[in-house]
Amino acid sequence: MAPFERIAVDPAIMRGQPCIKGTRITVASILGMLGKGHTRERILKGYPDLKPEDIDEALAYASWRMTESEVHA
């Protein structure tokens, strides 16, 4: 996995979905809110535990996952 300092994947937290470290806020939740047109400011206001850098890293993580390739036999 690429080095993401702010993202954690733990099977015991949110069924192993990638989350912002120290929270139960998933990368998918952040992406979903952005996709629905929520501004960064609105997201940060609704989730005071988040920092602007967390949103940046969630986007970077999603981009990395989209370009990661797997070989299936």
Span 4-48, pLDDT tens digits: 999 999 999 999 999 999 999 999 999 999 999 999 999 999 999
Report the sign of the C-alpha dihedral through residues 13, 19, 23, 29, in that order.
negative
Q: Domains of the chain, with CATH numbers?
A: 7-58 (1.10.10.10)
User: What Å distances lie between residue 54 and 39, 46, 51, 70, CA to CA?
Assistant: 14, 14, 5, 26
Name beta bridge partners: 26.
19
| Residue 54: alpha-carbon gap to chain centroid | 7
Residue 73 banded pLDDT, cuts 50, 70, 90: low
Backbone φ and ψ of 20, nearest 5°:
-70, 130
Q: How far apart are the first and last CA of the chain?
A: 21
